[in-house]
Amino acid sequence: MELEFLGTGAGMPSKERNTSSLAMKLYEERGTIWLFDCGEAAQHQILHTAIKPRKIEKVFITHLHGDHIFGLPGLLSSRSFLGGEEQTPLTLYGPSGLKEWVQFTLELTKTHLNYPIQYVDVKEGVIFEDDQFIVTAKELEHVIPCYGYRIEQKPLPGELYIEKAMKLGVPKGPLLGKLKNGEDVELDDGTIVYSKEVTGPPKKGFVITVLGDTRYCKQSIELSQNADIVIHEATFDHATSHLAKDYGHSTNVEAAKVAKEANAKHLILNHISARFLPHETGKLIKEAKTIFPNIFVANDFSAFQWKNGKLNELHP
């Protein structure tokens, strides 16, 4: 799994930061991309990456402020021009009103899409589940309804002990794959080889928490409980904490408190105000590290990889 930040600014674009959008690349897991928020010019940012819009399977919108949704109609429209049989079905998740806004915008502009969109009106609780993932939403504390998302990968098959399986008579080929996936198999002579006999214990999947705009609140901590990565807004710093509360936002220190109290492993600060110049991001990290040690600040096009239980920064 990889995370690539397409926009990391707050409120409006600046020379250094576009408005909010994050791509979760699930190529190895399911061959698709999940997008979190779609601020203005998100599709322009995508042009500078290897992301293929036709591979976007789901878009999760945290709330209906413009810096989180104004790029959505353009992206949906451009995705139609790509065509092809490989177009991935698309589902949009978001607060009440998202479907009406998207459909009205497309209708008013006479925009025709050559693919269907499924809409999910987000409420607290489980909003998606299949055999690989479960996504849970909670309403945060912002000035309009705003949600955070907890993405949990279900346990992965344990290690297959190939030599042990072959000693039991399992030939090379698809039967080994079935055993790894937890299926028992029957050999040509009628012998049953049980998966549990030739595989290790299931491996823990990753947990990623993506939080929308929010004040420091218990819901953020609940969504972030024992998460491998927490992505938390840090619109303000400790010196401007009074502004954070007034405008329904958080500081870098409050984000660190959430990560610490949730027993998370890593924290990525996002949604950075334009008041902080590039050379000041080090100060944001240093201040937050007094509370929580494992911190990164996301910049536009920052990329991170989660592999084998470790977070690697691919591009700062």
Predicted local confidence at residue 89, as pLDDT? 84
In residues, how long is the chain?
316
237 is catalytic: no
Helical (H) or strand (E) element with 77: helix 72-82
| pLDDT 10s digits, 17-48 | 999 999 999 999 999 999 999 999 999 999 99
- 149 pairs with which residues across the strands? 137, 210
**Nearest alpha-carbon partner for 206 in 189, 226, 228:** 228
DSSP 8-state symbol, 84: S
Q: Which of 41-50, 52-61, 84-93, 153-162 has the lowest mean pLDDT?
A: 84-93
Lookup: tokens for 9: 């600014």
Q: Which residues contact 121 (CB under 8 A, 6 or more apart)?
A: 94, 95, 96, 98, 99
Q: How far apart are CA 215 and CA 91, in angstroms?
A: 28
**200 band by pLDDT with thresholds 50, 70 and 90:** confident
| pLDDT 10s digits, 97-139 | 999 999 999 999 999 998 999 999 999 999 999 999 999 999 9
CA 90, distance to chain mean position in Å, is 16
**Which sign, positive or negative, has the C-alpha torsion 231, 232, 238, 239?**
positive
Q: Which of 37, 67, 228, 237 is catalytic?
A: 67
∠ CA 73-78-80, nearest 5°, is 105
Predicted local confidence at residue 85, as pLDDT? 55
Lookup: tokens for 313: 């920064």
Q: How far apart are CA 74 and CA 213, in angstroms?
A: 23
Residue with tokens 């991001």: 281
Residue with tokens 């909670």: 138
Residues of the chain by 3-state class (helix, strand, coil), percent to 5: 30, 30, 40
Predicted local confidence at residue 101, as pLDDT? 98
Average pLDDT of the residues of the chain: 93
Predicted local confidence at residue 84, as pLDDT? 53
**Which sign, positive or negative, has the C-alpha torsion 138, 139, 142, 146?**
positive
Quote the percentage of the chain above a pLDDT of 70.
98
Contacts for 292-297: CB closer than 8 Å, 24+ residues apart: 292/256, 292/257, 292/259, 292/260, 292/264, 292/267, 294/265, 294/266, 294/267, 295/256, 295/259, 295/266, 295/267, 295/268, 295/269, 296/266, 296/267, 296/268, 296/269, 297/234, 297/268, 297/269, 297/272
Q: Top-level CATH class of 2-156+203-315?
A: alpha beta
- Could you tell me the residue ranges of all domains in the chain? 2-156+203-315, 162-198
Predicted local confidence at residue 72, as pLDDT? 97
Q: How far apart are CA 127 and CA 147, in angstroms?
A: 12
**103: amino acid identity, one letter:** Q
The pTM of the full predicted model, rounded to 2 decimals, is 0.90
Q: What is the 3-state secondary structure (H, E, C) of 168-232?
A: CCCCCCHHHHHHHCCCCEECCCCCEECHHHHECCCECCCEEEECCCCCCCHHHHHHCCCCCEEEE
Detail the residues annotated as belonging to a binding site for Zn(2+): 63, 65, 67-68, 142, 213, 271
- Map residue 261 onto helix, strand or coil: helix
